[in-house]
Structure 1
Amino acid sequence: MSSHSLEKYKKLLAKEPQVNDKYVIIDVKWLEHWKRYVGIEKSDEEKVTEPGPIEFSKLVDPATAKNSNEIQLRSDAVEGNDYTFIPYELYKDLDRCNEFHITGNSNYSLYASTDEKGLNWKLIDERSDLTIDDIILTRNAFITYESRVVSAHNASSSSSPRINYTLGSSSRTHFTPGLCGLSNLGNTCFMNSALQCLSNVPALTEYFLSDKYKEHINRDNPLGMKGDVALAYGELIHEIWSGKTNYCAPASLKKNVARYAPQFSGYAQQDSQEFMSFLLDGLHEDLNHVKQKPYVEKKDDDGKADDLTLADEQWDYYRKRNQSKIHDIFHGQIKSIVHCLTCGTAARTFDPICFLSLPLPGKGKIRTFKIEFVRLNGQIKTYEIKCDEHGRVRNLVQEFCDRFQQKKKKISETVPMETDNISKSDEINQDEEEEEEEEDFTKASDYDGHQPKPEYILAAEIYNHRIHLQYPDNNLLTSILDRDQVVFYEVPDSLKIADSEKILMPCTFRDEYYHNNFGLPIYLSVPRHNCKGRDIQEALQKRIGDFLPLPSTESSDKPFYNAVLITSQGYGQSNKLLKACLDDHIDFSRKSTSLVVDVTSSIVEKYKKQEDEKRSEKDHTSSITSGIQTRSQQKRSTTLLDCFKYFTKKEVLSDDDLWKCPKCNTLKKATKKIDLWLLPKVLIVQLKRFNYTRYFRDKIDLLIECPLQNLDLSQFVINPNEKAKAKYNLIAVSNHMGGLGGGHYTAHAKNSNDNKWHTFDDSYVSDVNDDNVIGKAAYVLIYQQQEQQS
């Protein structure tokens, strides 16, 4: 790129918005990648890959993606973190496409590559009648051409000359087999995550690499997919483990899966566990040795046979219809027993399983929110408040104020909840719940007797040092992410007054030279009616000294700050120095008005120095008290074994799940108990993070402590012959970040060649420390029996 173009783009990116300017939303990650690629920003990478075409799919609400006329931005997308704005002029340059026209019958060859790095080139024969769909080109595909090299002795008038096609020297680069990223074909991170997890199951991958699976393809199974999915999966595994590339596209597999499962066609976000389940079921049926499944009548439990006999009978029944490598590796058996609460009749079943879906503990409903409290006197202090995550902002505000009322209460009493029938996890939580007490803020050494009141607190979300969102009282707490900066502002007038004479005007501070925002924004209380610029100036002068380290008197001819009044109406915006409009009437009824204070560099530096000193003092205090906090945290931590306890604990079935008792011959209340019976060689565990009830739909972001080695499930196995096989080691994790209906999937997996853990984020593969393998995003866990690794 020429230096002239580079300077042009730099100016466009630094351009201040003007009235009637056009701007375009763009993916932040793509833009940052492009900046590094063209040299606007420095990169630690030796060579930055081309960013490829502009990608908008990750910003689009999946519910609106199918109709181009109704496309909307994701509701959880955050400006600066997920998206930003660029001038339309720059966008036109970035979106520009160069076209190359090749005349017919010329000595050129056409190649296509489905990845952004230009690897895995595929020759396209112009004489064929293949369609674009047949050659499996994705939206991000590259097409290129180069001269043909024609052998001299074949360059005759022969109607079909043999032509030697060449594409330059082939790469001799060797990559670690298995460490191969998968391109995102349009919201397919869920598929990539599932595939990377299964790819790192040694027994399954060895089976496909050996090509033994081809001998077992059952094309006549009506429950299968004619071997298409098995063949496509086998080809993908060969590519991933070839060591020839560090990046490939699973386009063929996606195409074949979509033919039999339309829910995985298109570009809507899906669930990694659901895809993994469908794929394993499909591979099982495609590779099922049983060509003709016999009809076997399943016997009811008559209570006469012991567990071993009944379990063997039901397992044999299953085996007569299901025999495959998938069955050998992933299938196990659980025992379920149901008791009628009326007559005491019991019924046992021994069911095959490929997944275990474990409920999460009820205590995960209590969440800790980090709050910054800005008092009227300018004092800023950070607090941690525990509140039911299904509550609303008004509940969190009330909880905060209660901490100053010199009274204590149980966490479980913080928010009155409307509940459905008591679930098993709630029941267990009641059995095991400890009476934890919230911190009493009045006992702090610096407490001065101030007691905030809910009606004088305004809750807001801060992003990039400016007020991004003012929370309504009824705003659900589940919409507040852990990364969000939540600030409670104490205001001089009650927010309960419908038509107050005062209005709160947001005020942001920024460096006058670089125009970078800094510090916490504040609110100024000014007259709602008949307000003039002079009123705003007086309100600013009263409060600014509480937040900025200004000298007591002006010691310089130049002021230490200049305020700019920003007025927006519709798509237009006007900026005007406050001192130039002191006598102007400010209309709040139809316009959005805010204040930006440009502060001199000397004051900014002084402010930042003070903040660093405060932070250092706070970190020192935290280190002193960390021992006490850790003990409390350990008491409340949740482990994977806790989840198994929930799963195997006897539960009373709800009124919506009554059991038809064979003796009473009607639907009855009953209890149900599940235990592990036959353990699979590879155990797949789904953590049920997605919560659906009558009132709420949310995701449980609770950290579940999962061991990387020596997961011992013997206490949950009631088959005496299986106890010795109950120890497992973790080999893969599918992660989900974000909320319902979207988010992003990645995978952690342990490579069998280098015996190290790696992160797979679509096309990117990187190392990950053992300590970071398990986090709050862990969704699907794959464990392998230790005896299978010896």
Structure 2
Amino acid sequence: MSESGVCGLRNLGNTCYMNSALQCLSNIPSMVEFCKDYKNFKNKFNTISTRKSLLELFCDLIDDMWSQQTDCLSPNKFRSKVAEVLPSFAGCGQQDCTEFLRSLLNTFHDELSQMTDADTNSYNNYKTFDEYLYNNFTTKQLIIFSCSECGYRLDETYCPLVVLNLPQIDKKQNLLQIEVSIVVNNTGIEIFRCDTYVLQFTTNKVLVSQLIETLSQRYSDTTSLVLDDKHLIFTVIINHMISKIYDTTDSININELNGKLFVYQFDPSFVNHLFVGLKTNNRFGIPLLLDINDYSNDNIIDTFVAQLAKCLEPDGKQLLTNSLITKSDFQCINFDSNLSVGNQLIFIKLNEHLEKYYTIKQFSHGLDDNNFDRVFKLDDCINQYVSVQHMDDQQNCPNCCTDMFATDCFGQHNHQSQQDSYYPLELDFTNHIRDAKANGAQYVYDLLAITNYTGSYYSGHYTAYARNHINRQWYKFNDSYCRVGVQYM
């Protein structure tokens, strides 16, 4: 007796693409349960036709694959029905697994939507079987058309998606690099810390939210700490002063960037936050972020002294007293909880002896040449997918008359990249779901299966990796052959 669900599928003439897709669907627990319940429903109401639909034959095949009766099947009936219903997949030529999977799910949806009222029945928490399929295998992508200069939003459009067709990053492209520093403003730390990362993108214009997502992931990988992007402020520093504070919906042109990018973490338990630039006779260092509850001079000075002490060597800390700080030419930018820059300025001057003791504990995290050249993470592909692109149908902003831009939804993607990819066992998609964090929702997905392609554009072979939800082991499926073990991944 074979292991439940571990069943190979014979190649019926260049049908490896079909076998790979079927193995992936077969190892989705809810899909297996759906097929079982759908078959029981058809039997209960005696609605099985002499000429079965593609969905009915699919359910029969999934049932046989999990029956433990054999370790290999020939999906002849299913294959014949595919050739009838989806004529573009009728021959024995090279086919794309993703296109087949999309066409297959769309056909299931069409067949279920044609059921008569007498045939329909509630399924779990769904009104119909079709609703279950739609809610679990279809999503909507939001595309925002907005101005690259003033941020004016012209339109918002939703695109239905069955397959999220991510681009594969090709190392042969001229990837653009951008350096971003993150300042952790924790009142509990004794030393001022600044971590600088080099990020790479394929487009010169990227969203601030995209930069923060990539930066947060790199920061988590190097420090094992988690950043809450709701408590981050994205800034540009020019001549040791805050030049601009970005909103997460803003975009940055890498090629036209003036100044250095700094991301500050603020403490949300405080009501007010102030940026303070350092200056004696000349400006120096990077601005400090003060988390305060009131604007009294004593509170601002005390908080500033505590923050500045983290940036000074021991001898400098001994010199640092309130008497060394007086009102003078000293930049301070105030912003509210919505991160909008206010117009309140506070001026302070430092004793000139303090500058020579100024120091920051800096950590530079460049590109890992060995791993970066070889492996790209799934997050990298997602970030490129949501990158900003100019619209093909050029329009002018009705607010400021400059070009409009939009997130690229149907860009040309390279499917023949030879780079290895890293697929996490869990993928947190919360940052890419509209209003998810505002509503306190989490969208974390488990990796259940992977379809693999090796070869060229004209000729190749598909295999699949999938996790059996009963024994929780990973298997490699290569048409008729099944092998267990993570060593194949």
Equivalent residue letter for 1:204: M
Aligned match for 1:425, one of 197, 202, 207: 202
Q: Verify: 1:673 aligned to 2:407, yes or no.
A: yes
Equivalent residue letter for 2:86: A
Residue aligned with 1:192, SS: helix
Equivalent residue letter for 1:735: N
1:737 alignment partner in structure 2: 454
The CA RMSD over aligned residues, in Å, is 4.1
CA distance in 2, matches of 1:749, 1:213: 28
Taking structure 1 as reference, are residues 727 and 230 closer, same or farther at Cα in structure 2, changes over 3 Å only? same
1:327 alignment partner in structure 2: 134
CA distance in 2, matches of 1:216, 1:669: 60
1:658 alignment partner in structure 2: 393
1:590 alignment partner in structure 2: none
Residue aligned with 2:447, SS: strand
Q: Verify: 1:256 aligned to 2:81, yes or no.
A: yes
2:157 alignment partner in structure 1: 349
Shift of residue 351 of structure 1? Answer: 2.9
Shift of residue 244 of structure 1? Answer: 0.3
1:724 alignment partner in structure 2: 441
Aligned match for 2:14, one of 158, 163, 187: 187
- Determine if contact 1:714/1:723 at 8 Å carries over to the other structure: no
1:196 alignment partner in structure 2: 23
2:178 alignment partner in structure 1: none
Shift of residue 428 of structure 1? Answer: 6.0
Shift of residue 741 of structure 1? Answer: 1.5
Q: Normalised by the size of structure 1, how large is the TM-score?
A: 0.33
Shift of residue 631 of structure 1? Answer: 4.4
- Determine if contact 1:358/1:688 at 8 Å carries over to the other structure: yes
- Determine if contact 2:16/2:462 at 8 Å carries over to the other structure: yes
Q: Deviations over 1:78-114 (max 9, x none)?
A: xxxxxxxxxxxxxxxxxxxxxxxxxxxxxxxxxxxxx
Q: Normalised by the size of structure 2, how large is the TM-score?
A: 0.52
Aligned match for 1:277, one of 91, 102, 105: 102
2:371 alignment partner in structure 1: 634
Shift of residue 756 of structure 1? Answer: 0.3
- Determine if contact 1:182/1:248 at 8 Å carries over to the other structure: yes
Residue aligned with 1:187, SS: coil
Aligned match for 1:706, one of 402, 423, 428: 423
Taking structure 1 as reference, are residues 767 and 321 closer, same or farther at Cα in structure 2, changes over 3 Å only? closer
Equivalent residue letter for 1:194: A
1:163 alignment partner in structure 2: none
Residue aligned with 2:98, SS: helix
1:336 alignment partner in structure 2: 143
CA distance in 1, matches of 2:385, 2:67: 40
- How does 1:575-586 map onto structure 2 within 5 Å? none
Taking structure 1 as reference, are residues 689 and 746 closer, same or farther at Cα in structure 2, changes over 3 Å only? farther
Query: How many aligned residue pairs are there?
Result: 291
Residue aligned with 1:346, SS: strand
Equivalent residue letter for 2:111: D
Taking structure 1 as reference, are residues 725 and 352 closer, same or farther at Cα in structure 2, changes over 3 Å only? farther
Equivalent residue letter for 2:434: I
Equivalent residue letter for 1:725: Q
CA distance in 1, matches of 2:418, 2:26: 26
- How does 1:737-776 map onto structure 2 within 5 Å? 737-769=454-486, 772-773=488-489
CA distance in 1, matches of 2:204, 2:381: 14
CA distance in 2, matches of 1:322, 1:348: 30
Equivalent residue letter for 1:647: Y
CA distance in 2, matches of 1:755, 1:321: 30
Q: Deviations over 1:599-657 (max 9, x none)?
A: xxxxxxxxxxxxxxxxxxxxxxxxxxxxxx9942235542111111111222223xxx2
Shift of residue 345 of structure 1? Answer: 5.5
Q: Which has the larger Rg?
A: 1
Taking structure 1 as reference, are residues 216 and 339 closer, same or farther at Cα in structure 2, changes over 3 Å only? farther
2:221 alignment partner in structure 1: none
Aligned match for 1:229, one of 36, 50, 54: 54
The gaps in structure 2 that reach 5 residues or longer are 118-125, 176-200, 212-365
Please identify, of 258-267 and 741-750, the stretch whose mean Cα deviation from structure 2 is larger: 258-267
Taking structure 1 as reference, are residues 290 and 230 closer, same or farther at Cα in structure 2, changes over 3 Å only? closer
Query: Structure with the greater relative contact order (CA < 8 A, sep ≥ 6): 1 or 2?
Result: 2
**Identity score, percent:** 28
CA distance in 1, matches of 2:72, 2:107: 25
- Determine if contact 2:377/2:423 at 8 Å carries over to the other structure: yes
Aligned match for 2:42, one of 201, 214, 223: 214
CA distance in 1, matches of 2:25, 2:44: 19
Equivalent residue letter for 1:658: D
- Determine if contact 2:170/2:417 at 8 Å carries over to the other structure: no
The gaps in structure 1 that reach 5 residues or longer are 1-173, 220-225, 293-318, 368-423, 433-628, 676-686, 691-698, 774-790
Taking structure 1 as reference, are residues 722 and 635 closer, same or farther at Cα in structure 2, changes over 3 Å only? farther
Q: Deviations over 1:516-571 (max 9, x none)?
A: xxxxxxxxxxxxxxxxxxxxxxxxxxxxxxxxxxxxxxxxxxxxxxxxxxxxxxxx
Shift of residue 340 of structure 1? Answer: 5.7
1:649 alignment partner in structure 2: 387
Residue aligned with 1:203, SS: helix
Q: Deviations over 1:318-376 (max 9, x none)?
A: x9999433113212222111136799561112233221111223535489xxxxxxxxx
Q: Deviations over 1:176-227 (max 9, x none)?
A: 111110000000001000000001111011111232463899x9xxxxxx86
